[in-house]
Amino acid sequence: MNKVVSPKSTAKSIVMRNTFPEEVLEHVLSFIDSHSDRNSVSLVCKAWHETDRWCRRRLFIGNCYSVSPAIVIRRFRDIRSLAIKGKPHFADYNWVPEGWGAHAYPWIAALAEAYPALEELRLKRMVVSDEALELIGKKFQNFRVLVLCCCEGFSTDGLAYIAANCRNLRVLDLFECEVDDMGGNWIGHFPDSYTSLESLNVSCINSELRFSALERLLCRCPNMKALRVNCTVPLDKLAILLEKAPRLMDLGTGLFMTELRPEVYKRLAVAFSRCKEIRSLSGLWDVAPSYLPVVYPICPMLTSLNLSYATIRCPDLIKLLTHCQNLQRLWVLDFIEDRGLEVLAASCKDLQELRVFPSEPYNQEPNISLTEQGLVSVAVGCPKLQSVLYFCRQMTNAALFTIARNRPNLTRFRLCLIEPRSADWQTHGPLDDGFGAIVEHCKDLKRLSLSGLISDTVFEYIGTHAKKLEMLSLAFSGGSDLGLHYVLSGCESLRKLEIRDCPFGDRALVLNAAKLETMRSLWMSSCRVSYRACKLLGQKMPRLNVEVIDERGPPESRSDECPVENLYIYRTVAGPRLDSPGFVWTVNENWAMRSPSL
């Protein structure tokens, strides 16, 4: 845009300014929701940048160390809803040592000062202490939504504090958290005057939930939409809960087993048949098959069914699934077997997401007939299938071809062959071509996990075709640095890369160093990256944090050529972090920098 001040251009710029005045921009922006679009808006020009400063209400931070609370607070004046992710995904499999970081307290303390009007906080893979929860209860008067996913570090005492102090709480959802049991009756801490609860998910809490307190809570909260109890809530009490909250849309049961008593059965059946709005069903620990039919009345309306804790065998599963014609998402154990998946493919034509988990991952020869055929049936039979997570013990390239050709609309494909380096059992060769077909046909593929016998060839396919791929997970794959080089140089949209036990070393990393700044993070464990390469990267790339995570002691105590145990590289504008524990070295121009504390 020219800066020459002529009468004509001044007039033009006046006109330009007037056609998009502040209020109009604010109004337009209020209809722009997605984080990536808001980020683009923020980078258009000074005027928009400034408007976004005042108008931005929702913020997503994909890596808590990529930015500091101070920077966020300086940039945005009035955030009401914040989502932060901490540890990398491999932490779910215990590959990030305990104490690595991702502490929520410093964030919450800073937010408490800057954004007293904060209403929503969603944290994933962070360490949340009871003190942090207390701070939330104390400082945010209008706090409404707390979602903790895969978090740890807090106890029922912290929850008690939230219950007692957050008068406007609508949502308390804990997904897969580790919660310490301090006894007491934390649910009882919701005051009698408290009536605004809409969603309560405590399925991951292992300790006893005081049933009477839960029941009373439901009685006085008329807007309950979602309730997921834990396995300590017995089946014969479930009916009582359903009777108190018949408008539930999302139900997570407790233990689904008790001795067969006709009056219990009847009460349950009636209660379920009255719940006309349930769309999502989960929980179902230890199912007693004779009780399963009580849920049949709600099955036709179900869009989401999570049976990943349910010990239901194939025949009962099949019966259940034939009632669920509108199912869009199914999470299930491998008890479903190939024949169950065939029935699924025939009954559930709206299926979009399938996850099949192993019931006995460490048992080499379980008595379960789940093969690649099951996945093929679903891929062929369900035209809307987009997202797959499949654990199994065998695969063929032919099966992968069939899947790829039938389902070019796949966006997430995670195949987990339980035995590392399992070959195509028909050809005894690698699965390169099969996965190659997947990336070639599924042009919108965003997430991919490879497993089985894989050579560098597949990475060439991936680098060539997987242009929309954002996240890639590798284990025991590839043959050389070339594999990593293909991925880093070819995958334009790559944001997250996590690797374990692959023969990738220094060359590919160093050559593609600039690429790392365009990604959120790279995780490598048990690979072949030397400490020297880490130092090089840390030196050359000031906007990357290069973390060497090694429980064997300081990397300086070993030779520079020695491969590091774990490497975590992520882009950041906050510089090296100050809270690293003893086994993390952040490498930058000061060589290995370790924070003095801890």
Partner 1 sequence: MLESLMAVVKPEMKSYVWLQTVDGSIQQVEEEVAMFCPIICQDILHKGMGSSKNNAIVLPERVNPANLGLVLDYCRFHQVSGHSNKERKAFDEKFIRLDTKKLCDLTSAADSLQLKPLVDLTSRTLARVIEGKTPEEIREIFNLPDDLTEEEKLEPLKNVTDDPRIRLLNRLYARKRKELRERGKMKNAEVEEERVDERSVDDLLLFINGGKKEIKVTKSGKGKKKNRRRKDHTKGSSSDNVNENHEKGSNGIPLSCPDGTDDDELDPAMKEQLDREVEDFARRLNSDWPKRMQEILSLGPGRSPPAISIGGNGSAA
Site for partner 1 in 87-146 (CB under 8 A): 92-94
CB of 319 to partner 1, least distance (A): 25
Region label for 332, one of left (φ > 0), alpha (ψ between -120 and 50) or beta (otherwise): beta
Question: Would you say 239 and 213 are in contact if contact means Cβ atoms under 8 Å apart?
Answer: no
Stretch that binds partner 1, among 33-41, 57-65, 260-268, 583-591 (CB under 8 A): 33-41
Q: Is residue 560 a contact residue for partner 1 (CB under 8 A)?
A: yes
Q: Is 419 in the site for partner 1 (CB under 8 A)?
A: yes
Q: Which stretch binds partner 1 (CB under 8 A): 29-37, 211-219, 263-271, 295-303?
A: 29-37
If phi over 0 gives left and psi between -120 and 50 gives alpha, with beta otherwise, what is residue 283?
A: left
Give the separation between CA 563 and CA 330, rounded to whole angstroms. 41
Tell me if 589 contacts partner 1 by CB under 8 A.
no
Residues in the interface with partner 1 (CB under 8 A) total 95
Of 14-22, 238-246, 253-261, 280-288, which part binds partner 1 (CB under 8 A)?
A: 14-22
Cα-based angle 222, 223, 224 (whole degrees, multiple of 5)? 100
Instruction: Fill in the per-residue mask, 159 to 198: x = in contact with partner 1 (CB under 8 A), - = not in contact.
Output: -----------------x----------------------
* Torsion 66-106-95-390 (CA) sign: negative
Report d(CA 210, CA 214) in Å as an integer. Answer: 6
C-beta of residue 88 within 8 angstroms of C-beta of residue 113: no
Does 60 contact partner 1 by CB under 8 A?
no
Q: Which 340-379 positions form the footprint of partner 1 (CB under 8 A)?
A: 357-358, 361-362
Q: For partner 1, which residue of 430, 538, 555, 576 counts as binding (CB under 8 A)? A: 430
Tell me which of 14, 37, 117, 219 binds partner 1, using CB under 8 A.
37
Minimum CB–partner distance for residue 180 and partner 1 (Å)? 15
Is residue 517 within 8 Å of residue 545, measured between CB atoms? no
The nearer residue to partner 1, 195 or 464, going by C-beta atoms, is 464
* Nearest CB to partner 1, comparing residues 264 and 564: 564
Window contacting partner 1 (CB under 8 A); options: 16-24, 103-111, 258-266, 378-386: 16-24
Contact status: 460 vs partner 1 (CB under 8 A): yes
- When the beta carbons of 244 and 412 are compared against partner 1, the nearer one is 412
What string marks each residue from 495 to 514 as x (binds partner 1 by CB under 8 A) or -?
Answer: ------x-x-xxx--xxx-x
Task: Tell me which residue of 416, 418, 413, 417 sits closest to 388, measured CA to CA.
Answer: 413
- Restricting to residues 530-559, name those near partner 1 by CB under 8 A: 532-533, 536, 540
277 binds partner 1 (CB under 8 A): no
151 vs 224, which CB is nearer to partner 1?
Answer: 151
Kindly state the tokens that stand for 143.
């706090």
Q: Does 14 bind partner 1 (CB under 8 A)?
A: no
How many other CB atoms sit within 10 Å of the CB of residue 496? Answer: 20
Does residue 45 interact with partner 1 by CB under 8 A?
A: yes
Report phi then psi at 505, rounded to 5: -125, -145
CA torsion through residues 125, 127, 130, 133, sign: negative
**What is the C-alpha separation between 223 and 420, in angstroms, rounded?**
48
Q: Report the relative pairing of strands 591-593 and 387-392 from DSSP bridges.
A: unpaired
Closer by beta carbon to partner 1, 231 or else 268: 231
Window 302 to 341, contacts with partner 1 (CB under 8 A): 308-309
- Answer yes or no whether residue 59 interacts with partner 1 by CB under 8 A: no
- Closest distance to partner 1 from the beta carbon of 466 (Å): 12
Q: Select from 114-122, 128-136, 210-218, 417-425 the region that touches partner 1 (CB under 8 A).
A: 417-425
Long-range contacts of 256-262 (CB under 8 A, 24+ apart): 256/283, 256/284, 256/285, 256/286, 256/287, 256/288, 256/291, 256/292, 256/310, 257/285, 257/286, 257/287, 257/288, 257/291, 258/234, 258/288, 258/291, 260/288, 260/290, 260/291, 261/236
- Closest residue by Cα to residue 250 from 231, 227, 224: 227
